[in-house]
Structure 1
Amino acid sequence: MKRYFAISSAFAFLALALFQLSCSNDNEPTVGTGSIVVNFSNMAGDAKVALNSATYTNAAGEDFTVSKLNYYISNIKFTKADGSTFTVPKDSSYFLVREVDEASQILKINNVPTGNYAGIEYVIGVDSLKSIEEPENRKGILDIYTGPTNEEAMYWNWNPGYIFLKFEGKSDSSTIANGKYEYHIGGFGGRSGRTLNNIKTVKLSFGSQAASVTTTATPQVYIQADILKIFDGPTKLRIAEKPGVMFEPFSANIAENYANMFSVKEVRNN
């Protein structure tokens, strides 16, 4: 009888504990999700970039036009005022911004937990872990055989890896045939040995503006990328001296420059 009572008491205690846990879960608020749209606008100072038409002047006084401007945005993370963060799932966090394609400049991030966000962080380029995955695991915007990545030649087959930023145009200061300049910047640190690592992380604050994500309202974050900063940063880039830069040590200087070309213009809450 005593043993039967002890077993019965144990079952009763377990049942009560499960009931209390169930009630506790029922009372806990469910965190909803919504979306944030991040808009990239490529600028040359105060002027919107216009391909193959407008002429701009860099910090060295060199005039130039722009024929191509592409860059990867990846590994996006949003930060709340209390310091907590939401990291966008990796496979949903790769984008190729192309000046020729306005739709590519609008990044919609879904399944974002509701709340007020105070800033954004992202990588310019493609991280090393993704870069060394098998091609079948790099689809969509990272597909090196079809789609925009292949169409825009944003991958080096001769030196396997993504081109993080491709910036081309013409300038009378160039010493390359037809007055062209070409800056193709990549390098994720190497597969089997240490090489150039031009992966850059950008952290931007929304300032006094908060992106308020709800289940029904989608905030819009507007980010400007000033291409003049590619020429004017820690290193002054002169077309006359460096009209073409690809996988070489100087590319690190250009990456350092363009890491500072982004700024938040405004946040709009719908």
Structure 2
Amino acid sequence: MNKKLQFIFLFILFTASIFAQKSNDSLFFGINFKWKLQPLELNQNYSSNKDTLQINVLKFYISGIEINYADGTFFKEKNSYHLIDIENFKSFSISKSQRKPISKLSFNIGIDSTACVSGALSGDLDLQKGMYWAWQSGYINMKIEGKSNSCKTRKNAFQFHIGGYLTPNYAMRKIKINSNSKKQIDLVMDLSKLFEEINLSETNSIMIPGKDAMRIADLSVKLFSEE
């Protein structure tokens, strides 16, 4: 076999191996952002509680991913920290599991105390991502910003930066999804369910751990469901 044919043969083998690897790394869940039945888009008007509001920023951490498969096997992701950002389409899906039917999916909204006190970290936990307060408060689990005429603030802005890793203000929350044994789970995050529970004229700025942040953290569990 001459060198040209040998190169072509090796290239085909390499391409096939890459394709096989990608097919094994199946997408095991993705997130669709919605406002009730509508797709959620930034800087668009949405109605809630006789109010009209816009979402300008939506970021949150998913961590501690665990999967129960229909065949009885179990998967727990190591170093499981993912920053979901509505402005970054690639962050909407996570694909590191085997391609077989899933019976249950669980994950956390937020960052655990171990990561919060670990100092400078990389990847989605990099401090340059803008999701870290300081070592006393740790990571921001969820960041939601926008504007509404109900907010008597500068430019009618509201800001919810939800976090906290110390008792009694431990803001990480666990989500559990029971699946109908599908190989891929499509999640819906319906942000309208959060604002149905909030009076923006009274609550429009949460920037530190505390009672108000804990309430939003509790409500965040209700936002996710299987599509």
TM range (shorter): 0.7 to 0.9
Match of 2:118 among 126, 133, 136: 133
Residue 157 of structure 1: how far off its partner (Å): 2.6
| Alpha-carbon distance in 2 for matches of 1:115, 1:108 | 13
Residue 68 of structure 1: how far off its partner (Å): 0.5
- Could you tell me whether the CA contact under 8 Å between 1:231 and 1:257 is conserved in 2? no
Residue 94 of structure 1: how far off its partner (Å): 1.0
Cross-structure match for 2:102 = 117
Q: Please identify the structure whose Cα radius of gyration is greater.
A: 1
Cross-structure match for 2:160 = 183
Structure 2, unaligned runs of 5 or more: 1-22
CA gap of 1:131–1:157, structure 2 versus 1, over 3 A, is closer
4+ residue runs over 2 A deviation: 33-36, 80-85, 157-160
Residue 158 of structure 1: how far off its partner (Å): 7.4
| Alpha-carbon distance in 2 for matches of 1:159, 1:176 | 27
Match of 1:51 among 26, 38, 42: 42
Cross-structure match for 2:85 = 98
In structure 2, what residue type is equivalent to 1:71? Answer: F
Q: Does 1:210 align with 2:194?
A: no
In structure 2, what residue type is equivalent to 1:197? Answer: Y
Deviations, residues 41-84 of structure 1 (Å, cap 9, x unaligned)? 111111111111x21122x2221001000010011000124665
Normalised TM-score (structure 1): 0.70
Normalised TM-score (structure 2): 0.83
| Alpha-carbon distance in 1 for matches of 2:189, 2:144 | 13
Residue 96 of structure 1: how far off its partner (Å): 0.6
Cross-structure match for 2:191 = 227
| Alpha-carbon distance in 2 for matches of 1:50, 1:86 | 33
CA gap of 1:103–1:172, structure 2 versus 1, over 3 A, is same
> How many residue pairs are counted as aligned between the two chains?
203
In structure 2, what residue type is equivalent to 1:222? Answer: D
| Alpha-carbon distance in 1 for matches of 2:72, 2:163 | 31
| Alpha-carbon distance in 2 for matches of 1:45, 1:221 | 19
Cross-structure match for 1:262 = 224
| Alpha-carbon distance in 1 for matches of 2:103, 2:24 | 16
Question: What secondary structure, in the 3-state scheme, does the structure 2 residue paired with 1:66 have?
Answer: strand
Question: What secondary structure, in the 3-state scheme, does the structure 2 residue paired with 1:175 have?
Answer: coil
In structure 1, what residue type is equivalent to 2:108? Answer: V
In structure 2, what residue type is equivalent to 1:76? Answer: I
Question: What secondary structure, in the 3-state scheme, does the structure 2 residue paired with 1:252 have?
Answer: helix
Cross-structure match for 1:79 = 68
